[in-house]
Amino acid sequence: MNFFMAILPLLIVLIGMLMFHRSGTFVSIIGWILAMFLAVYYFRTPWNVVWGATAMGIIKGLGITLAVIFTMFLIFLMKETGALQRIINYIKGIAKTKEEQTLFLGMGFGSLSTALGMVTPAMFPPIFIALGFSSVAAIAISILCYDPLTSFALFSIPITLPAKIAVKIFGINPPGITGLEHFIWDFTYKITLFLPVVSVCFAFLMLYAVGGFSAMKKNFLPALLAGLILSGTALICAKFRLVPVEIIGIVAGITTMLFVYFYYRAKSNSKVQTQQTSAQFDFRAFSPFILLIIISFVVNLSSIKVKLANALGKAEVIHVFADKKADLNILSNVWFWILVVCILSIPILRPSGEQFKRATAIWFKRIWGPFIAYSLFFAVAFIMAWSAMHVVNGRLVPSEFFATLNMDRIIALSLSKLFGGLYPLISPFLGVIGTFVGGSETASNVLFAKIQWEAATSTVGASAFMWIYAAHAVGGGIASAITPAKITNAAATIGVKGKEEAQFIKQVIIPVLLITLVTGVMTLLFIKL
């Protein structure tokens, strides 16, 4: 019963979207309210802790919610000024068919954009709509392209930040791992070993979303090669430490874009194709993307990022609840620089007063759904993590009920007890659960690090932890495909909701769960080998 009650908010969210076609915004509100009452009246959590968890979740979610909001404004501004249409014309010139556009933009540019910290569910849907894709297909590719490299998003923050917290705060010390640097590289390499399968699966899943099995069959070879090149590049970079962890995703995305472009150019030399590739590059239209790429790369260089993170000092640290504080890291956060690009793009794109007014009006109308969804799903994640805790002498600490009534512990330890030595098979599903609820793989990796350590040591031994934790991270990356907050974000950008969101999640939920299961099987094999 404890296990069922712990996952009940997740079940309600799924049922609401799949069976009743309710939007991610609506189910986020229902899930949050349910999680609060369950935490208080079933899992013995004081109301002040629940409200504190909600506040912490919303504040921690600002890094994503603000990035989404400002990305949406940039896209709407580009659309109103005609810049987006000029970009579409250029893309049509270098990528002829929808399948080619899917692999070029989805597997290549999508992975690059995700690695740089761009929010593809907010950025890509209008582009795919303008290219002639259906609403569901536009939503699908925009979300799925966030996933092929799983953890290599936002300059690999889902890898580096949880690793630092696992080692320095939780004191996790797996056998054979000496120091934080060793932990990060071992974690990174193990994640990349799953990618040749995962990346290829997502390439085919994107094609299926566009044209069903016929599209998969027709483009079998380029999809297979695109997935292998994307994942192989990341694996080689991680194995031989060719580049910093933070830019592995960037290198892999660029390599894949080049492959897709030259593959189709070599395959087709028709007159029509030659004419199409003559499309001229419009620097002004592409300038927002170019600025994002340059600025994201520069501000995330390790030396610069550290200086930016410390520039405002304690002025950006917020006391949230009890002894819990949140450092906003404004100058080193991607949302701040997306805002800067928005401001710089105004004199470059030169919108008329009417164009700026229309862009602002539609932006203000559509941002609330994604903002609420991301914020409340983050809140639910913290409510679950802080359940069965209380405040003593101004500090948030586990209560006497924590060991048996903490919602996250119940889910993880119930599964470890049920599966025993086969626990690695199910471990990536915890990553799916964590990302599904919180909307962020980074949050999932942080919140479940200690729990996965306990589950691993009690089932297959501490030496298997790094494999299990890597599988958890991969599962979290895969889960971005069914995260309600991202689905709502993509739908809101093109002005649809409910029905289209349900159609997409129905289309991908079984494949996502199967890919996660394959990840679990691979985890078992890696541990045994």
One-letter amino acid of 494: I
CA 482 – CA 504 distance, rounded (Å):
9
pLDDT tens per residue across span 207-234:
999 999 999 999 999 999 999 999 999 9
CA 428 – CA 475 distance, rounded (Å):
5
Closest Cα partner for 152 from 258, 65, 224, 247?
Answer: 247
- Quote the pLDDT of residue 498: 80
Structure tokens at 504: 């997409």
Q: What is the DSSP letter of 154?
A: T
Whether residue 478 contacts residue 191, with contact meaning beta carbons closer than 8 Å, is answered with no
202 exposed, middle or buried (CB, 10 Å; 0-12, 13-18, 19+)? buried
pTM: 0.86
Residue 273 pLDDT > 50 = no
393 exposed, middle or buried (CB, 10 Å; 0-12, 13-18, 19+)? exposed
- Quote the pLDDT of residue 277: 46
CA 148 – CA 113 distance, rounded (Å):
12
- The owner of tokens 């602002």 is 360
DSSP string of 222-261? HHHHHHHHHHHHHHHHHHHT-S-GGGHHHHHHHHHHHHHH
Sign of the dihedral defined by the CA atoms of residues 89, 95, 97, 101, in that order: negative
Whether residue 389 contacts residue 64, with contact meaning beta carbons closer than 8 Å, is answered with no
- The half-sphere exposure of 168 on its side-chain side, counting CA atoms within 13 A, is 9
Structure tokens at 280: 């001229």
129 — pLDDT class (breaks 50, 70, 90)? very high
Residue 329 pLDDT > 70 = yes
CA 428 – CA 426 distance, rounded (Å):
6
pLDDT tens per residue across span 97-122:
899 999 999 999 999 988 887 788 98
The percent of residues above 70 in pLDDT, for the chain, comes to: 98
Closest Cα partner for 376 from 118, 5, 60, 149?
Answer: 60
In the chain, DSSP finds a helix count (H) and a strand count (E) of 28, 4
Residue 353 pLDDT > 60 = yes
∠ Cα 161 38 26 (to 5°): 75
pLDDT tens per residue across span 449-467:
888 998 999 999 999 999 9
Q: Helix, strand or coil for residue 326?
A: strand
Please provide the average confidence, as pLDDT, over all residues in the chain.
90
One-letter amino acid of 511: P
List C-alpha distances in Å: 296 to 116, 316, 448, 527: 6, 21, 28, 37
CA 271 – CA 325 distance, rounded (Å):
62
pLDDT tens per residue across span 55-103:
998 998 888 889 889 988 999 999 999 998 898 888 888 888 899 999 9
DSSP string of 400-462? TTHHHH-HHHHHHHHHHHHHGGGHHHHHHHHHHHHHHHHS-HHHHHHHTHHHHHHHHHHHT-G
350 — pLDDT class (breaks 50, 70, 90)? very high
For residue 391, list its beta bridge partners: 396
CA 54 – CA 382 distance, rounded (Å):
7
pLDDT tens per residue across span 154-187:
778 889 888 988 888 788 999 999 889 999 999 9
Residue 431 pLDDT > 80 = yes
46 exposed, middle or buried (CB, 10 Å; 0-12, 13-18, 19+)? middle
- The owner of tokens 């995700």 is 114
How many residues belong to the chain?
529
